[in-house]
Amino acid sequence: MRAMEISTTLTTEPKDDARLAEILESPGFGVHFSDHMFTAEWTPEEGWHAARITPYGPLTLDPATAVLHYAQEIFEGMKAYRHDDGSVWTFRPEANAERMVRSSHRLALPVLDPDDFIQAVDAIVEVDQRWVPDTEGEEKSLYIRPFMIATDRFLGVRPAKHVTFMVILSPAGAYFSRGPLPVTLWLSTEYTRAGRGGMGAAKTGGNYASSLLAQQEAIEHGCDQVVFLDGQELTYVEELGGMNMYFVYADGRIVTPALGTILEGITRSSIMDIAGKMGHPVEERRISIDEWRDGVTSGEISEVFACGTAAVVTPVGELKWDGGQTPEVTEAGEVTMKIRQALVDIQYGRADDTFGWMHRVC
């Protein structure tokens, strides 16, 4: 496979060292962006072309640009980690690349070859490597946001014939400002995130837009995040707005909702391997809201956690709904924290990468 040709134009105004140090000291999530961005274009005639790294900056889009009207767009979320020796690594980038291919099928967008995806991510991360924070005991990283948008100037509804793929970078601290303390969840019984035949398994902006009202409802009820049930029977647990879910049983089994209408999280599948290796039988199956409520009340379910690239592994505390809640949870569960530690130790190069997941960028 021939490597993509990427032209590079460096910024004449890189963030100065003092300001960058200040940002990396306390990066937050998704608020600061690195000095450069990656862009490539696609047309049916030319395929992918014009791959380039340029100074980070605003896009100029015609008001009739298709993505602004019909939301034909997909994205990915991944991170670059700095190891103690200064080297920079990504975690299972081929899994993000392959998921983007699956998302592109669902959104009728062109396929970006996984090798080109990885080359693009590597190239931009290498150019902006000084934006990868040192960890200093905290879990900082450089969040990587590849995305693909329909850039036709056309108001007809049809798959775009001009598509733009970009990668931007944003240094990240903890996604939840309170650290790995249990988050409380609001059960949405009014709104669902995805239905059969819908886009639930694709990483596309519309799924996040549709989660916002329910997330707002969660906040109004004093909860951190919303949990969605299946769209058909309103019975089976699906996922949170931006994370998958896991249930730890007192007998050591761990259960995660089956695929279909949820996003196939890379953290989710990595945890299956990590937990399996630790001796926990892992089940992927439907889990009803009653099994959750009854299980945490009886003690049959001893821990609940959520997982995703941005949030890593986050303990789940109380589940609240209109008229009730599960018993109070004050601290993170032992199995949750053991799995979390095993995962971040691999990502930060503090444990052997026995699964071969880490990819060195520079």
List of residues contacting ligand COI (CB under 6 A): 77, 242, 308-310
Looking at beta carbons only, is 188 or 204 nearer to ligand COI? 204
What is the Cα–Cα distance from 93 to 115, expressed in whole angstroms?
A: 10
| Partner touching 263 among ligand COI, ligand PLP, none, CB below 5 to 8 Å by kind | ligand PLP
What is the Cα–Cα distance from 128 to 107, expressed in whole angstroms?
A: 30
Residues in the chain: 362
Contact partners, residue 280, CB within 8 Å, separation at least 6: 248, 252, 253, 254, 335
* Interface residues toward ligand PLP, by CB under 6 A: 77, 239, 242-244, 263, 265-268, 308-309
162 sits in the region (left: phi over 0; alpha: psi -120 to 50; else beta) called beta
Instruction: State in Å, rounded, how far the first CA of the chain is from the last one.
Output: 22
What is the Cα–Cα distance from 102 to 111, expressed in whole angstroms?
A: 9
Q: How far is the CB of 242 from ligand COI (least distance, A)?
A: 3
Contact partners, residue 14, CB within 8 Å, separation at least 6: 35
Looking at beta carbons only, is 248 or 313 nearer to ligand COI? 313
Cβ distance 217 to 266 under 8 Å? no
Looking at beta carbons only, is 192 or 267 nearer to ligand PLP? 267
Residue 199: Cβ-neighbour burial (10 angstroms; 0-12, 13-18, 19+): buried
Looking at beta carbons only, is 191 or 208 nearer to ligand COI? 208
What is the Cα–Cα distance from 316 to 127, expressed in whole angstroms?
A: 37
| Partner touching 244 among ligand COI, ligand PLP, none, CB below 5 to 8 Å by kind | ligand PLP
Looking at beta carbons only, is 228 or 292 nearer to ligand PLP? 228
What is the Cα–Cα distance from 288 to 290, expressed in whole angstroms?
A: 5
Looking at beta carbons only, is 67 or 172 nearer to ligand COI? 172
Q: How far is the CB of 29 from ligand PLP (least distance, A)?
A: 12
Q: How far is the CB of 88 from ligand PLP (least distance, A)?
A: 19
| Partner touching 146 among ligand COI, ligand PLP, none, CB below 5 to 8 Å by kind | none
Q: How far is the CB of 224 from ligand PLP (least distance, A)?
A: 15
Q: How far is the CB of 244 from ligand PLP (least distance, A)?
A: 4
Q: How far is the CB of 2 from ligand PLP (least distance, A)?
A: 29
| Partner touching 23 among ligand COI, ligand PLP, none, CB below 5 to 8 Å by kind | none
Q: How far is the CB of 106 from ligand COI (least distance, A)?
A: 16
Residue 302: Cβ-neighbour burial (10 angstroms; 0-12, 13-18, 19+): middle
| Partner touching 103 among ligand PLP, ligand COI, none, CB below 5 to 8 Å by kind | none
| Residue with smallest beta-carbon separation from ligand COI | 77
Of 227, 212, 218, 330, the residue nearest 288 (C-alpha) = 227
Q: How far is the CB of 240 from ligand COI (least distance, A)?
A: 9
| Partner touching 239 among ligand COI, ligand PLP, none, CB below 5 to 8 Å by kind | ligand PLP
Looking at beta carbons only, is 129 or 309 nearer to ligand COI? 309
Looking at beta carbons only, is 64 or 213 nearer to ligand PLP? 213
Looking at beta carbons only, is 308 or 333 nearer to ligand PLP? 308
What is the Cα–Cα distance from 38 to 147, expressed in whole angstroms?
A: 10
C-alpha separations of 17 from 23, 112, 131, 172, 313 in Å: 10, 35, 10, 18, 32
Residue 98 C-alpha from the chain's centroid = 14
Q: How far is the CB of 92 from ligand PLP (least distance, A)?
A: 9
